[in-house]
Structure 1
Amino acid sequence: MAIGGSMRPNSSTYRALEVARREFEKLGIPLHILDLRQMNLPFVDGSESYADYPDVAVLKETLKQADGIILASPEYHGSISGSLKNALDLLSFDELEGKVFGLISVLGGETNSNTLNQMRLIVRWVHGWVIPDQIAIGRAWNAFDEQGNLKDENLQQRFQRFAQSLVTNTHKLRGIPVQGA
């Protein structure tokens, strides 16, 4: 399962998630991308129920069923996007505790780890596990070709290691039997 925190059409964040999806497919694992742009979610107001927003139930159930989760966010003003933070705030320990997470940040400028560190703090707070492999794509406006492929072969290899790490660590930490073992 993956969640993209960008609301932009033609988002580099969702391009990055498509690169991840292709790497997971090579490993024989489907990656479902939850697109917040297509969901009607309320701003969190502390309510216990959001009955007027059926997509909240979809978000909760989808994440509850996931063993491994990718969080991907553009960096805005040195932080994660408001849309991703709001979506995470709609969730609870019921959906996130004990899950294994991989993190991706997408930046218009130079690569840094502000967004990755903030996502790591959020995941730790909800008792999730973040894999050591993480991806930051700096100058994202120039990172992809017209077909959505990464131009940088080293970055593509990092996505391969990222996908393998998320699968391996999810199996270990969630106690999922490895196929063929």
Structure 2
Amino acid sequence: MHIAILAGSNKAASTSTKLCRYIETILKGQGHDTTLFDLHKRPVPLFSPDNRNPADDNLASLKRTMLQADAIVLATPDYHGSVSGTMKNALDHLGFDHFDGKTVLSVCSTGGAVGMSPLMQLQQIVRTLHGINCPEWISIGGDFREFDAEGVPVSAAVQERTVRAVSYFVRMASALRQPQ
């Protein structure tokens, strides 16, 4: 299965992006193909309804990545109780054809205990785009946002939670995967 991972932070040392890399390691270890699209390294232009498909290599790559995915991971930092502007902007460029019938895992990193609002907002956006929300989600906060030099969460509880949620996501995506 091919899984797209969209890292929606605009920060170089983002913990939500570190969590994406850890998830990618888990998925590759299970034999899945992955594409991690890091919006910090590959920003897309500001969405405008007046120009829905601007000529931009990063945007074209993002759209291609999402179209080719069998399942999707969306990861955002918690900014003022919401998804990042970077993530929302990228999602505004995408549509039904990128999400329809695909299982989506929502992921958040927050300075507080749990980033519930951004996760719920991501799930609302996914529903609107005809994606299928995985009932599992991942939120790391406070001191649980620490990663070692190899990119593994320092907290054994975060490692366990991430593996459990990713495994559920993969089982669900495999069961719902539309034949090519």
Taking a change above 3 Å as real, the CA distance of residues 111 and 57 of structure 1, as seen in their structure-2 partners, is: same
Residue 34 of structure 1 aligns to a residue whose secondary structure is: strand
TM-score between both structures, scaled by the size of structure 2: 0.90
Residues 48, 97 of structure 1: alpha-carbon distance in 2 compared, 3 angstrom cutoff: farther
Q: What residue in structure 2 maps to residue 100 of structure 1? A: 103
The question of 1:137 aligning with 2:140 is answered yes
Aligned match for 1:45, one of 45, 48, 54: 48
Indicate the structure with greater strand content: 2
- Does 1:17 pair with 2:20? yes
Structure 1 match to 2:174: 171
Structure-2 change in CA distance of 1:49 and 1:125 (3 Å)? closer
Q: Which runs of 5+ in 2 are unaligned?
A: none
2:164 is paired with a residue whose SS is helix
Matched residues in 1 for 2:169 and 2:147: separation?
Answer: 23
Structure 2 CA distance for aligned equivalents of residues 78 and 96 of structure 1? 24
TM-score under structure 1 length normalisation: 0.90
Shift of 1:30: 2.7
Q: Secondary structure at the match of 1:117?
A: helix
The question of 1:161 aligning with 2:146 is answered no
Q: Distance in 1 between matches of 2:108 and 2:165?
A: 13
Return closer, same or farther for 1:114/1:167 CA change in 2, 3 Å cut-off.
Answer: same
Describe the shift of the 1:40–1:133 C-alpha distance in structure 2 as closer, same or farther (beyond 3 A).
Answer: closer
Q: CA RMSD in A?
A: 1.8
Amino acid of the structure 2 residue aligned with 1:84: M
Identity %: 32
Query: How has the CA–CA distance of structure 1 residues 141 and 171 changed in structure 2, closer, same or farther, with 3 Å as cutoff?
Result: closer
Instruction: State which of 32, 35, 39 in structure 2 corresponds to 1:32.
Output: 35
- How far off its partner does 1:18 sit? 1.3
For 1:161, give the aligned amino acid.
R
TM-aligned CA deviation for residue 40 of structure 1: 4.1
Query: Which residue in the other structure is 1:82 paired with?
Result: 85
Question: How many residues are paired up?
Answer: 177
How far apart in 2 are the matches of 1:158 and 1:79? 22
